Structure 1
């Protein structure tokens, strides 16, 4: 595929066309309505076709770029004005004759502060074929999940490693003074550059593999959606394959990323890891970490190898039932079997460079559904880890309270004398909805955490009231209190 090149004048005219027609995130939702827009997100376009029929030039752009429809030349010419149709054809923005189709995916993408346009390649559904090796992915579920998992505190410098279409860098411009984006793919950098200039954003673009383009530089924050697909060491598609075997791509980024952070700087990325027979996944990923790094690994899913292979074949537009699909699946599954892979874990990783003698490393599952974005919680997790490191030696002197978002659930079953409590569970109603099972003693301790008494006094009262040994109670309570603080069930006052 040829590398698309767009002049500043072309992009300025295209921006004018989009602004004139209302082709932005809010405009599309308003034109389609909530039901049709939601259906489109589920891959059900018919409602959007119907809703766009009466939306004039905006409807033409919606059908052209979002629905993959063929549109009459006259309608496209009018909708793209002041972009000349010949220029749009020459640039590869549209293709065909008389009935025109999109040559690139250009779609609105927004946040609570406004809207952008993201330029990428057409997916396999629109192409009707397998995507090419240098395919530049659009804004997919993985990209959106990383956007929601990224902490948005103000920083001076931010690196988007492996930028792809540039969507992570777009969001980074909201909170970073300077944004640098890298990619190994020339095509990805060209489309990311079009994305940034179309949105009138100044982002430094550098081409190269992994961290090589930014050697000897450091950043306050790094975000990365790496080519984390695991399997045999090959590169079928640059957007997802690294050429490294197994989960070595995720391991490489996690090993090297902290060395490119400023002191106290943070990194957030998506990653995959193998679940190998006889090995705990937490031990595996923890070995990837360099010294001087706080780390929070959050596992969101574990995929069966067969499901994993089928999903990624379809992602590239390959029918798993075809001869080509079966051959690729067989090669992939043989590799999994030879390496004793029982599953593929996927999740978020938050890293922080620290000079602490004993960095904090936590690996945990977060399989439940939740509504709040993980990014703010990741920032608060780092804050709580830092607080525990500073006050861990005098934890008994601290005063705690239970936040109002924490609930105590009591599950009871019928017993000989009525209802018998079988489970006591703390539940956070905000953030990722953490849950933690406790016993009656812990519940009683938390009931006293109102910010008035230090922890040592609460434990003394609890021991006296329940006939418990105070020293043993304190020894058992301290690690639990640390865990409850890390998860936001307790906060210092």
Structure 2
């Protein structure tokens, strides 16, 4: 008797199979949570993939006789006994969302609760989310260096644990939601994986245990503490403002091994006239953690209220939506919030007692996908800079990375450019404005001269002292090293 996973794979209910069934237009629409094109494509199909897409992905009823012919070894009765479907006369409805999911290396199947697109109703408060934008963002940004123990904090349906299973020897998955824990256990069994799944709030389930990697898509949504506000387990941490994320940042250090990394998503409230760097920097004060925080988006209180009041199937113009919208605005006003930031927080526990490094940067444009390799390289580069200092920078023969380009802009007819930009093709897609000295250095940056040798030669050309040129250029060179525009070709 084939396992459900094998049966789904054998009939082509895979990423490629679903894409071929739906076609590019319907697939793109479904990714935008618009089901009509996919509904039209699958309405009259008898192909196994089409029947399964219609049932498990769109939430439409299918005939019991058609479903009986689709999955060898998994007829309607067996699916119903497993709790996946309900039988209504001669038709079958799914009780869960079930779909293929994968990355560049592996494909899985993920079970979650039915979305509001499938049910046409607001979500229940114990809803277990499937694969969404936040979960795929975290998965993309997570480093995939092989590790021993990994923790998926706030696992939901177990998406991050699926990825962790590829490069971690053991995975612990935690959540406060009993429904989420049951879903995670099902997905582990479905994909023939073995996780240590534990219930409890935030870090409570792991006691004083330590991990080489902690990942978390925590309940970071800033939610008014009001009796009129539904408290969704997947997004609401039960605290005021951004306290859930702040507390996690402050407490995760004791659960990291030396050299261990924590990566999490978060929101932060920025007061009127304040800066997000001061807010997040305040969370880090007193910890011994290295920190690389990238702010990816900013919303004003009204935009934030519109997003989350409409989350979960609540529609603009309804009484519930308007009440929640007003509650969010009042909540932000009570704390003097000017804007709300969203981003990715990467923390590292140093292996020794050195001073931690901190890098807080805003980057709202397109980034590499996946970002994990760039994050791993960025952690290594920033750590190297902290350990070797300016002397190490000057003693190394750096080379421009292969994805670095230079742009020169000037007035028509001008002999020299007025602006020189050095741009990164991958990673964060950073762009740096280069002055004459930095541009001259980059022009000879091929790994043959140390930075010190090159800068001293440039000092002679611009008729300045070597000390002056080094003081001007080294901070800029450090930034280029940190973000991967300059690399050590001997590594």
- Bucket of the pairwise TM-score, normalised by the shorter protein: over 0.9
Give SS of 1:478's match: helix
Alignment RMSD, CA only?
A: 1.9
Partner of 2:123: 131
| CA deviation map 1:8-36 (0-9, x unaligned) | x9xx6433431342212222123233343
* 1:416-442 deviation per Cα after TM superposition (whole angstroms, max 9, x unaligned): x54662321110112221111111221
Give the structure 2 partner of residue 190 of structure 1. Answer: 182
Matches within 5 A, 1:394-409: 394=391, 395-409=393-407
Structure 1 residue 361 displacement after superposition: 0.6
Measured in 1, the distance between the counterparts of 2:120 and 2:39 equals 19
Q: 229-238 or 333-342, which moves further after superposition? A: 229-238
Aligned equivalent of 1:457, options 439, 453, 456? 453
Deviation at 1:457, TM superposition (A): 2.0
**Maintained 8 Å contact 1:16/1:82:** no
For the residues of structure 2 that align with 1:244 and 1:413, how far apart are their CA atoms? 55
1:207-222 pair list within 5 angstroms: 207-222=199-214
Q: Unaligned stretches of 5+ in structure 2?
A: none
Q: Distance in 2 between matches of 1:110 and 1:418?
A: 52
For the pair 1:95 / 2:93, whether they are aligned, the reply is: no
State the Cα deviation string for residues 450-471 of structure 1 (Å, max 9, x = none): 2222222222211111112322
Find the counterpart in structure 1 of residue 99 from structure 2. Answer: 107
What secondary structure, in the 3-state scheme, does the structure 2 residue paired with 1:297 have? strand
2:280 matched residue in structure 1: 285
**Aligned pair 1:28/2:18, yes or no?**
yes
Deviation per CA, 1:128-172, whole angstroms, max 9, x where unpaired? 111111000010011111110000110111000010000100011
Structure 1: which 5+ residue stretches go unaligned?
1-8
The answer to whether 1:298 aligns with 2:294 is yes
Residues 233 and 246 of structure 1 are in contact (CA less than 8 Å); yes or no, is this contact kept in structure 2? no
Q: State how 1:40-189 maps to structure 2 within 5 Å.
A: 40-52=30-42, 53-54=44-45, 56-97=47-88, 98-189=90-181
Match of 2:325 in 1: 329
The verdict on how the C-alpha distance between 1:158 and 1:341 changes in structure 2, with shifts beyond 3 A counting, is same
Distance in 2 (CA, whole Å) between partners of 1:130 and 1:43 is 15
Number of residue equivalences: 481
- Given that residues 320 and 329 in structure 1 are in contact (C-alpha distance below 8 angstroms), is that contact kept between their aligned partners in structure 2? no
Aligned equivalent of 1:411, options 393, 409, 412: 409
Identify the range of structure 1 (228-237 vs 362-371) with the bigger mean alpha-carbon deviation. 228-237
Aligned to 2:384: 387
- Taking the aligned partners of 1:262 and 1:162, their CA distance within structure 2 comes to 20
Question: What is the DSSP-based 3-state SS (H/G/I as helix, E as strand, rest coil) of the residue aligned with 1:37?
Answer: helix
**Cα displacement (A) at 1:307:** 1.5
Residue 371 to residue 55, structure 1, CA distance change in 2 (3 Å) = farther
Q: Does 1:270 align with 2:265?
A: yes
Contact residue 33 and residue 117 of structure 2 kept, 8 A: no
- CA contact under 8 A between 1:373 and 1:431: conserved in structure 2? no
Aligned partners of 2:25, 2:415: CA distance in 1, in Å?
45
Summarize deviations over 1:77-130 as a string: whole Å, max 9, x none: 333452342443354412351332221111110122231111110111212111
Taking the aligned partners of 1:356 and 1:35, their CA distance within structure 2 comes to 55
Separation in 1 of the partners of 2:473 and 2:276?
28
